[in-house]
C-alpha cells in the first residue's frame, strides 16, 4: 500500500496533523502554506487539502476576509466546509448574504477596530462560539429575531455593543449559553483605539446558575450569588484592591472564589521570590477555590514553591497553570478548564 492508496480517512488525518491549527495570527500563513503544498501532490490530495483549507478560515486583515467571502459566494460548495471564521483586523461585516451558505460554521472570532452586525449571524443556527475583541457590535434587524439557539460560548472583550445589540444578552436570545466572558473596562468618555464606550452594567441574573462567567474585576455586572464567577485581574490591581478592600466594580477580594491573575511577573518586581508573594496574597482571600495563573513566569526558590504547593493543597484550591498571560487574546476568553468545573 502506497500513500496514494491510503483510505481518505487516514489521508485526512495525515494532512491535518501536518497543518498547524489557527491558534495565533502567526499560524495563519503557516497553515495556508502547508495545505497549499499538500494540494499540489495529486488530485486525490487536493480534495482533502482543499476541505481542510476552507475548514479553518482565518485572516490577518479585512481585505483578505472579504476576498474569501467573495470566493465562497461564487463557489458555494467551498462554503459548506467552513467551520471556523476568524479575522484579526475585522473592518466591517454587515452583509448578511456573505454567511448565508456557511451551513457548517461553528465558530466566529472577530476583532480589532471593526464592526459586526449580529443580523449577519442570525441565520447561523449551528453557531456555537462567538468572540468579539475590540470591535463594535450592532444589530440592524429586530433584536427579538436575533436568536442563537445553540451558542455555547460568548466572549466580548473591550467591545462596544450598541443598545439594540445589548438586548441580545439574555436567556431568550441565548438559551444554550454555557460560558460568557464579559470584559468591559472603560467608563464614559474613555476609549481604546478610537472606539468610544460608556458604562454597561449588564444584568446576568436571569441566566441559570449553570452559566460560567469570566469577568474582569472592572466590569460592571449583576448576577445571582449562585453563579460561579471567574474574576480576572492584573496583580497590581489585586494589591490595590486588597489594600482598599474592594475592586473598581465593587466586588471584594475577600469574597472571590475563582481568580485568574494576569501579568504575574509583576509579583516578582522588587522581590526575589514570586511564589512567596503569591502565598501572601492567597492568605488574604479565604474563600478562593480555584486559581488560574501563569506560574512559569515567576522567579522562585524550590522551598517557596513547595510551601506554595502545600498551602494550596491544604486549602483544597484548584491550581491551574496557564501557558501565557495573554493567551486569551487569540480566541475565547473562557478557559477550557473553567468550563469543565
State the CATH number of the domain containing residue 210.
3.80.10
Which strands, in side-by-side order, build the sheet including 136-138?
Answer: 92-93, 115-117, 136-138, 160-161
pLDDT in tens, 174-186: 999 999 999 875 5
Measured CA to CA, the distance from residue 187 to residue 113 in angstroms comes to 18
CA torsion sign for 296, 301, 306, 307 is negative
Last residue of a domain, one of 53, 75, 93: 53
The answer to the question of residue 6 being in a domain is yes
Same domain, 38 and 80: no
Burial 39-53 (b: 16+ CB within 10 A, else e): beeeeebbebbbbbb
Same domain, 199 and 94: yes
Angle between helix 8-18 and helix 25-39 axes, rounded to 10 deg:
140
Same domain, 21 and 122: no
Based on its alpha-carbon atoms, the radius of gyration of the chain, rounded to whole angstroms, reads 22
Measured CA to CA, the distance from residue 235 to residue 243 in angstroms comes to 13
Same domain, 153 and 210: yes
Residue 195's pLDDT is 52
Same domain, 12 and 106: no
The answer to the question of residue 43 being in a domain is yes
Last residue of a domain, one of 223, 246, 278: 223
In angstroms, the first-to-last Cα distance of the chain is 46
Angle between helix 43-55 and helix 8-18 axes, rounded to 10 deg:
60
The answer to the question of residue 256 being in a domain is no
Same domain, 155 and 85: yes
Measured CA to CA, the distance from residue 195 to residue 223 in angstroms comes to 27
Asked if 149 contacts 175 with a C-beta cutoff of 8 angstroms, the reply is yes
Residue 253's pLDDT is 94
Same domain, 27 and 67: no
Residue 179's pLDDT is 95
Q: DSSP strand E in the chain: where?
A: 56-59, 84-87, 92-93, 107-111, 115-117, 129-133, 136-138, 153-157, 160-161, 179-183, 191-192, 195-196, 202-203, 212-216, 221-222, 228-234, 258-262, 290-293, 318-321
The answer to the question of residue 292 being in a domain is no
Enclosing domain of residue 5: 1-53
For the chain, 341 residues long, give each residue's pLDDT as a single digit of tens: 566 667 777 877 788 788 777 766 677 778 878 888 888 888 888 888 888 888 888 888 888 888 888 888 888 888 888 998 988 887 787 776 777 788 889 999 888 878 899 988 888 889 999 999 888 999 988 888 899 999 999 999 888 899 999 999 999 999 999 999 998 755 544 555 555 556 788 899 999 999 999 998 888 899 988 999 999 988 888 989 999 999 988 889 999 999 998 777 655 555 568 888 889 899 999 999 999 987 776 778 888 889 999 999 999 999 988 876 555 555 567 888 888 87
Amino acid at each position: 500500500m502506497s500513500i496514494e492508496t491510503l483510505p481518505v480517512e487516514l489521508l485526512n488525518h495525515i494532512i491535518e496533523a501536518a497543518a498547524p491549527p489557527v491558534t495565533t495570527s502567526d499560524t495563519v500563513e503557516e497553515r495556508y502554506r502547508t495545505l497549499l503544498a499538500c494540494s499540489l501532490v495529486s488530485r486525490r490530495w487536493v480534495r482533502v487539502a482543499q476541505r481542510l483549507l476552507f475548514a479553518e478560515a482565518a485572516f490577518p486583515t479585512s481585505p483578505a476576509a472579504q476576498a474569501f467571502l467573495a470566493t465562497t459566494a461564487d463557489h458555494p460548495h467551498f462554503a459548506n466546509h467552513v467551520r471556523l471564521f476568524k479575522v484579526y483586523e475585522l473592518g466591517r461585516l454587515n452583509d448578511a448574504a456573505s454567511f448565508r451558505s456557511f451551513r457548517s460554521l461553528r465558530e466566529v472570532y472577530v476583532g480589532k477596530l471593526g464592526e459586526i452586525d449580529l443580523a449577519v449571524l442570525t441565520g447561523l443556527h449551528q453557531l456555537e462560539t462567538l468572540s468579539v475583541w475590540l470591535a463594535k457590535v450592532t444589530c440592524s434587524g429586530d433584536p427579538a429575531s436575533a436568536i442563537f439557539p445553540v451558542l455555547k460560548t460568548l466572549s466580548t472583550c473591550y467591545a462596544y455593543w450598541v443598545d439594540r445589540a445589548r438586548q441580545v444578552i439574555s436567556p431568550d436570545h441565548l438559551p444554550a449559553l454555557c460560558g460568557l466572558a464579559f470584559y468591559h473596562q472603560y467608563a464614559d468618555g474613555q476609549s481604546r483605539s478610537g472606539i468610544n464606550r460608556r458604562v454597561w452594567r449588564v444584568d446576568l441574573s436571569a441566566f441559570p446558575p449553570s452559566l460560567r462567567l469570566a469577568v474582569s474585576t472592572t466590569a460592571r455586572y449583576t448576577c445571582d450569588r449562585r453563579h460561579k464567577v471567574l474574576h480576572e485581574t492584573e496583580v497590581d490591581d489585586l494589591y490595590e484592591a486588597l489594600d482598599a478592600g474592594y475592586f473598581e466594580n465593587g466586588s471584594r477580594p475577600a469574597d472571590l472564589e475563582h481568580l485568574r491573575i494576569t501579568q504575574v511577573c509583576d509579583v516578582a518586581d522588587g522581590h526575589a521570590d514570586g511564589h512567596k508573594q503569591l502565598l501572601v496574597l492567597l492568605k488574604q482571600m479565604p474563600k478562593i477555590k480555584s486559581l488560574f495563573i501563569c506560574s512559569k513566569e515567576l522567579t522562585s526558590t524550590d522551598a517557596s514553591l513547595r510551601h506554595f504547593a502545600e498551602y494550596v493543597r491544604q486549602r483544597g484550591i484548584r491550581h491551574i497553570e496557564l501557558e501565557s498571560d495573554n493567551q486569551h487574546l487569540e480566541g475565547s476568553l473562557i478557559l477550557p478548564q473553567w468550563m469543565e468545573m
